[in-house]
Structure 1
């Protein structure tokens, strides 16, 4: 009897813990957890490591132990049953469940992609502070970046360039502009004298709000020498429910607990129906990040980087010509917001004497075939972006000379992209 009870308890416990791995569907979690626990216990019984007969007699004589195990079993059974029911009912569409980023997708031709990135994008996983982050498997590495992993200690001649941005920075699995920039700079590297490491820290769907918080999490760990920043497309998109700043907790424990609970469907169902005020704020109508907050986030990049001894280059957000935008049905009012955001960025950089590269202005003079759609480069577009960047960095003294350790973060001025030579 005791053997059976413990097998059942451990099986249910394993089933409840397995969702944290995000590896198995609901039914497989329960079956695999039970099989593993029972197999371990059966092995102990077969090998004689545990004398189950004597334990059974003690168990039957101990009312306290029976009561404790009975209570634990009842709790685990209840939680397991609720989790299984929640997954079945949400999978069949009987119940809805909370999408940890935003509420709904409107039928009035409004789409908030924050829900997609957290629930339907196989390359993303939930994050309590950043909302979602890239998975730590191909095409991303264990550090959450694309490309080679960085060594724990930066080499004496290593110059690290971190690229923060949205899907246009994240790019394709291979050939994005950070990777192309790495290839161009490799031609200028001198092993043992000057070595470049370009890190693609772009994440699809990110706003400047998310990008800044990720940068603040990582800057002390990876010690970048130069930070390239490209946001704007997602910032100005209309939010359905609430702006980005309302989805972050200032309490670390709450963030950790929230990140754990988000793995369980029963919790998401409860959140959907018991806290509707967090989901639908009918009184709110505006972008994910307001124009003022957009500039505040850019200022946060500049201030944080300079505080850690790194230089920053802000970049306007490129987009396609009118024909491409019309084909993609990009609303005219949204395009106006993007254009305004680019102008605000250039004005901000001039006031703050920050380095700025007008990528949109540069691509406006180039063929539209460099865009695959309204806001993403083709492979040739990524290559051209890398060339423009490399020329700009060299022309403005942002790359170290042979034997030089790093650039001076306070140097600069608002300088626009020069035409390609």
Structure 2
């Protein structure tokens, strides 16, 4: 009987081990599938932006051909600016273009912002410059310095128009588990921190610094989980957190 019991235990144990191996295998297959889908979606997104930039480098067709109307406040920059909803109680014209770098923003400023004659321009741009470090890692210093210079030139163009500037720090990244394995993620994050230090140094009587990075980041320095949409973008909760602080800042800056 003991022999039969022993055989039963071994068979049962074998089935249990096989079941566990199946579960582990299915879990790995699921993770690989999800990772592949995310990578494919991201690749398609960047391919679309790449071709869009080739077809319309400055986003000339982004806002139609209607004659511009004066606007008191303008959001300006990349996709992060484009997705930024106006805080309650403030009418803001949005001139953000997804995929744009600081160089593209600088070149289109007089086309998209100057004709609006804004009292205040809120600028969020630069992350698309710095994500290029994933490909041009050896050009880190040059890319960082060019980004800083372009931001300074945008400020100068606003000054020439008589506009005040709210220069927002660049949102940090919000990597998922797969992207944390990419060494470029940490390099890009470090570059964002360096540019944000330069942004802080641009504070002046006509340049207000809005530290969006500090609002969104957790203790790791990356965008907090509750605010993440993907590695580059934040969700509506993130924008609500930004607008809570932005509303107070605008109330002090914009006088009726």
TM-score, length-scaled by structure 1: 0.43
Give the gaps of 5 or more residues in structure 1.
Answer: 1-110, 144-148, 172-176, 187-195, 243-283, 402-421
Query: How many Å separate the matches in 2 of 1:152 and 1:200?
Result: 12
Alpha-carbon deviation of 1:378? 0.8
**What's the CA shift for 1:354?**
2.5
Distance 1:114 1:209 in 2: 18
Which of 78, 82, 88 does residue 166 from structure 1 map onto? 78
2:148 is aligned to 295
Query: Which residue of 321, 328, 345 maps to 2:179?
Result: 328
Contact 1:166 1:202 in 2 (8 A): yes
Deviations along 1:116-142, one digit per CA (max 9) or x if unpaired, are 4242x5xx6723xxx252755xxxx52
1:359 to 186, 197, 212: 212
Query: Is 1:389 paired with 2:246?
Result: yes
CA distance 1:327–1:135, change in 2 (3 Å): farther
1:384 CA drift (Å): 2.1
Cross-structure match for 1:133: 59
Aligned residue for 1:235, secondary structure, equals helix
Tell me, in whole angstroms, the C-alpha distance in 1 between the residues paired with 2:231 and 2:200: 21
Task: Write out the 4+ residue segments of structure 1 that deviate beyond 6 Å after TM superposition.
Answer: 239-242
* TM-score normalized with structure 2 length: 0.67
- The secondary structure found in structure 2 opposite 1:227 is strand
Q: 1:220 to 1:164 in 2, by over 3 A?
A: closer
In the alignment, which residue of structure 1 is the partner of 2:106? 212
Pick one of 337, 344, 357 that aligns with 2:198.
344
- Structure richer in helix, relative to its length: 2
Distance change >3 Å, CA 152–CA 117, structure 1 → 2: closer
2:34 equivalent to 1:180:
no
Instruction: Report the Cα distance in structure 1 between the residues aligned to 2:134 and 2:191, rounded to whole angstroms.
Output: 17
Q: Aligned to 2:157, which of 298, 304, 310?
A: 304
Matches within 5 A, 1:73-222: 116-119=48-51, 126-127=55-56, 131-133=57-59, 135-136=61-62, 141-143=63-65, 152-154=68-70, 159-171=71-83, 177=84, 179-181=85-87, 184-186=88-90, 196=91, 198-222=92-116
Quickly say closer, same or farther: Cα 1:349–1:164, change in 2 above 3 A.
same
**Residues 95 and 112, structure 2, Cα contact 8 Å, conserved in 1:** no
The CA distance in 1 between the partners of 2:49 and 2:58, in whole Å, is 7
| Structural mapping, 1:187-266, within 5 Å | 196=91, 198-238=92-132
- Residue 400 in structure 1 maps to residue 250 in structure 2: no
How far is the alpha carbon of 1:326 from its aligned partner? 4.1
Shift of 1:287: 5.2
Partner of 1:100: none
What SS does the corresponding residue of 2:98 show, helix, strand or coil?
coil
- Secondary structure, aligned partner of 2:171: coil
Structure 2 residue matching 1:133: 3-state secondary structure = coil
Root-mean-square deviation (Å): 3.2
Cα distance, 1:288 vs structure 2: 10
For residues 159 and 69 of structure 2, the distance between their equivalents in structure 1, rounded to whole angstroms, comes to 20
Deviations 1:177-235 (CA, angstroms, capped at 9, x unpaired): 2x332xx125xxxxxxxxx3x12111111111111111122333221221111122111
Question: How far, CA to CA, are the matches of 1:297 and 1:125 in structure 2?
Answer: 20
* 5+ long unaligned stretches in structure 2: 1-42
Residue 345 of structure 1 and its aligned partner are, at CA, apart by 1.5
Give me the whole-angstrom Cα distance separating, in 1, the residues matched to 2:236 and 2:110.
Answer: 30
Shift of 1:114: 7.0
Paired residues, number: 206
